[in-house]
């Protein structure tokens, strides 16, 4: 049996197939990590936008209603939660629990953002408050609709990056579910990934 040329041909085919399948799985894992890197970059820009928004709203604290403090605190908390979940997912982009936490924190941030901007838009201005210290401020600070436009631009970019990530995850998950490749995935400990 060991001296049979047929055995060695079959053995060589199996080894080369396994090597090719392993390389394909590694390329797909790399594609998921690369797609997550793009999504990560867009989320970092969104966090920077939220920092600018919080700073702009802090300069207007004298004119804001007391109830807005709670919504701004909720927005800051959601931003902090997103940053923490992003740091964990950045370290382990293939971990299902880390990506699930990131997706949940992103949804919380969206809800907190819409609550904060809705409240700043709906605040009545009766002219009785002294706003002389705010007369020279940047128009972007005084107009929440500009923040909405910037948020929508970032949200569109984030959705496109999330779509790319979800596609990469779908290709990877399909590859490790196929019969011969799932044996290699089991041997090397590759688990299915999660999209957003």
Per-domain residue ranges of the chain:
29-122+139-188
Of 76-90, 93-107, 173-187, minimum mean pLDDT range: 173-187
Instruction: Give the contacts of 102 (CB within 8 A, at least 6 positions apart).
Output: 82, 85, 86, 88, 89, 196
High-pLDDT (> 90) share of the chain, %: 47
Average pLDDT value for the chain: 83
Question: Is the model more confident about 58 or about 127?
Answer: 58
The domain made up of 29-122+139-188 has a fold known as 1.20.120
pLDDT category of residue 70 using cuts at 50, 70 and 90: confident
Question: What is the mean pLDDT of the segment spanning 39-49?
Answer: 94
| Stretch 122-150: mean pLDDT | 55
Q: Which residues, 6+ apart, have CB-to-CB distance to 192 below 8 Å?
A: 96, 172, 173, 176, 177
Whole-number pLDDT of residue 122: 59
Measure the CA–CA gap between 33 and 19, rounded to whole angstroms: 21
**pTM (global) more than 0.75:** yes
Residue 62: predicted pLDDT: 52
């Amino acid at each position: 049996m060991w001296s049979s040329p047929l055995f060695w041909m079959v053995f060589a085919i199996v080894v080369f197939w396994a090597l090719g399948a392993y390389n394909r799985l590694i390329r797909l894992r790399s594609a998921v990590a690369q797609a997550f890197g793009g999504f990560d970059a867009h989320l970092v820009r969104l966090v920077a936008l939220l920092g600018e928004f919080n700073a702009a709203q802090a300069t207007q604290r004298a004119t804001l209603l007391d109830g807005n403090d709670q919504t701004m605190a909720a927005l800051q908390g959601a931003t902090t939660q997103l940053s923490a979940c992003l740091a964990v997912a950045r370290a382990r982009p293939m971990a299902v629990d880390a990506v699930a936490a990131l997706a949940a924190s992103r949804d919380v941030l969206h809800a907190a953002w819409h609550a904060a901007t809705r409240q700043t838009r709906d605040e009545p201005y009766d002219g009785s408050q002294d706003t002389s210290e705010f007369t020279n401020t940047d128009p972007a600070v005084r107009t929440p609709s500009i923040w909405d436009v910037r948020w929508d631009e970032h949200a569109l970019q984030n959705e496109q990056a999330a779509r790319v990530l979800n596609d990469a995850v779908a290709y990877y998950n399909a590859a490790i579910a196929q019969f011969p490749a799932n044996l290699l995935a089991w041997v090397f400990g590759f688990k299915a990934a999660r999209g957003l």
